[in-house]
């Protein structure tokens, strides 16, 4: 061992002189807790965990009890990233730390990967158990969005009862904090929402004005679920008093999920959105990102009709709004089925991949790739990806043109403001349903 990598309630994680190899040692002296911890690890070793990014045990250590795990290089804890961003905010650097850790675009991408991984665990009948920024590791480089879980000894298959359960303060579901229930997929859902809210806003969903400058007991009451959440639609007694405004960093769809979790879901765990719902909403939100073109801003923001950056009030360069619809007929002249308003924003010089799935679902990037589109000063480039099939549709009369090689629409797209065109996608792996993208300049 060459040094400490991290530490939690159950033990310490240490580095080794072997690349990408870590060791976790159980440090609690209670023999009963130690025995149960070893039994749980033996159970984890027998689980099918291929696919999810979890640093699972690859070998056990007898004395002191522990295990060896493998974790890819170039990662840091999400807590480290949060602290760096928050410190800049406190020191008067404004959004400097927020942007230095990837801005809104990267935060959505990290949360999307995190939600998809947890949804995969839940689909296997597993719960993570103690989700917090300390247990999530992300790429140090903001150009990448790798997400990995450590502390797989938190995993459980059924609700875990008793005094042996640990949770991270600020991220435990109210019923767990009160000691009434063990952990399960519904407590994971709460912890994820609390983490997502903190990562996006630098605030806490339960710690608002009622807790500010109050006695410590008031904060404990809030974390036990005895106070309203900071954006309660009717009760403003604990209204948000720090961090970024939620409307700046969350779409209406994400805001609704926060509301469902922290309002109705505070007392009724069954009302909390699932991790699959979060993954879908985060995929839809990420698709709406535009980058501010002001040289002294650098923020990313959600598409709006004015194309105006809410962080600096700069109007962005022209982009396209891709409204996604879902075809059920072979003929593009037939009415299409709307997918509920999910869209993708296409900004200058940023390539966007179009897959054979609705953009507002977490399965979008797992579907077959059909084409790529990119907008630049020359126009809108359509690049087919075999074996997909593209059909360009002129919406005013339904005329179609099959595209078999890269093509460019309009040399000056900014002069086509208000005009529309359609792109029908097909793929031999799914001949029945065909997605349709409607471009509006």
Specify the higher pLDDT residue, 131 or 315. Answer: 131
- Position 136 scores a pLDDT of 93
Q: Distance (Å, rounded) from C-alpha 141 to C-alpha 162?
A: 40
Q: 426: which residues sit within 8 A by CB, 6+ positions away?
A: 370, 388, 389, 390, 391, 434
Specify the higher pLDDT residue, 213 or 9. Answer: 213
- Position 242 scores a pLDDT of 86
- Name 402's bridge partners: 391
- Position 66 scores a pLDDT of 85
pLDDT tier, 94 (very low <50, low <70, confident <90, very high otherwise): confident
pLDDT tier, 414 (very low <50, low <70, confident <90, very high otherwise): very low
The residues spanned by each domain of the chain are: 317-440
The phi, psi pair for 157, rounded to 5°, reads -100, -30
The phi, psi pair for 127, rounded to 5°, reads -120, 150
Q: Distance (Å, rounded) from C-alpha 402 to C-alpha 424?
A: 9
- Position 97 scores a pLDDT of 87
- Position 164 scores a pLDDT of 45
Q: Judge whether 72 and 108 are in contact, CB under 8 Å.
A: no
Quick check: 11 pLDDT over 80? no
C-alpha distance from residue 214 to each of 31, 71, 217, 222, 226 (Å): 40, 42, 8, 11, 15
Specify the higher pLDDT residue, 215 or 115. Answer: 115
- Position 132 scores a pLDDT of 93
Q: 261: which residues sit within 8 A by CB, 6+ positions away?
A: 189, 190, 193, 271, 272, 273
Tell me the fold of 317-440. Tumour Suppressor Smad4 (2.60.200)
Q: Distance (Å, rounded) from C-alpha 435 to C-alpha 290?
A: 23
Of 35-49, 230-244, 306-320, 368-382, give the range with the top mean pLDDT: 230-244
* pLDDT tens-digit readout, 153-197: 788 876 655 444 678 999 999 999 999 888 899 999 999 999 999
Specify the higher pLDDT residue, 100 or 3. Answer: 100
Quick check: 411 pLDDT over 60? no
The phi, psi pair for 301, rounded to 5°, reads -150, 165
Quick check: 3 pLDDT over 90? no
- Position 158 scores a pLDDT of 61
Per-residue pLDDT, averaged over 214-234, amounts to 94
Q: Distance (Å, rounded) from C-alpha 134 to C-alpha 6?
A: 8
Helix 185-201 and helix 78-90, axial crossing angle in degrees, nearest 10: 30
Least confident of 31-45, 277-291, 413-427: 413-427
C-alpha distance from residue 65 to each of 23, 24, 29 (Å): 10, 9, 11
Quick check: 147 pLDDT over 70? yes
């Amino acid at each position: 061992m060459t040094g400490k990598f991290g530490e939690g309630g159950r033990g310490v994680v240490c580095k080794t002189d072997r690349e990408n190899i870590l060791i976790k040692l159980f440090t609690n002296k209670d023999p009963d807790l130690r025995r149960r911890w070893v039994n749980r690890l033996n159970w984890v070793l027998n689980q099918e965990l291929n696919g999810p990014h979890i640093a699972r045990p690859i070998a056990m250590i007898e004395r002191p009890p522990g295990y060896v795990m493998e974790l890819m290089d170039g990662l840091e804890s999400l807590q480290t990233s949060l602290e760096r961003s928050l410190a800049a905010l406190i020191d008067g650097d404004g959004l400097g730390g927020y942007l230095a850790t990837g801005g809104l675009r990267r935060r959505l991408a990290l949360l999307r990967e995190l939600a998809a991984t947890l949804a995969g665990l839940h689909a296997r009948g597993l719960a993570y158990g103690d989700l917090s920024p300390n247990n999530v590791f992300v790429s140090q480089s903001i150009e990448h969005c790798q997400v990995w879980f450590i502390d797989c000894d938190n995993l459980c298959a059924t609700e875990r009862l008793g005094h042996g359960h640990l949770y991270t303060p600020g991220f435990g579901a109210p019923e767990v904090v009160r000691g009434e229930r063990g952990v399960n997929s519904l407590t994971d859902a709460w912890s994820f929402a609390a983490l997502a809210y903190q990562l996006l806003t630098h605030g806490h969903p339960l710690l608002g004005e009622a807790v500010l400058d109050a006695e410590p007991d008031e904060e404990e009451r809030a974390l036990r679920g005895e106070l309203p959440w900071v954006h309660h639609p009717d009760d403003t007694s604990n209204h948000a008093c720090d961090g970024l405004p939620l409307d700046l960093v969350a779409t209406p769809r994400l805001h609704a999920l926060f509301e469902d979790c922290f309002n109705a879901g505070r007392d009724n765990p069954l009302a909390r959105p699932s991790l699959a719902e979060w993954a879908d909403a985060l995929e839809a939100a990420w698709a709406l990102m535009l980058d501010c073109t002001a040289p002294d801003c650098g923020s990313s923001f959600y598409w709006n009709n004015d194309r105006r950056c809410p962080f600096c009030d700069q109007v962005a360069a022209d982009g396209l709004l891709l409204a996604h619809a879902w075809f059920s007929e072979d003929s593009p002249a037939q009415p299409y089925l709307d997918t509920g308003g999910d869209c993708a924003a296409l900004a200058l010089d940023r390539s966007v991949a179009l897959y054979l799935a609705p953009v507002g679902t977490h399965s979008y990037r797992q579907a077959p790739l059909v084409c790529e589109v990119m907008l630049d000063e020359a126009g809108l480039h359509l690049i087919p990806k075999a074996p997909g099939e593209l059909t360009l549709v002129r919406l005013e009369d339904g005329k179609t043109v099959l595209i078999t090689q890269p093509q460019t629409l309009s040399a000056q797209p900014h002069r086509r403001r208000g005009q529309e065109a359609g792109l029908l996608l097909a793929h031999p792996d799914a001949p029945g349903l065909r997605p349709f993208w409607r471009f509006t300049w």
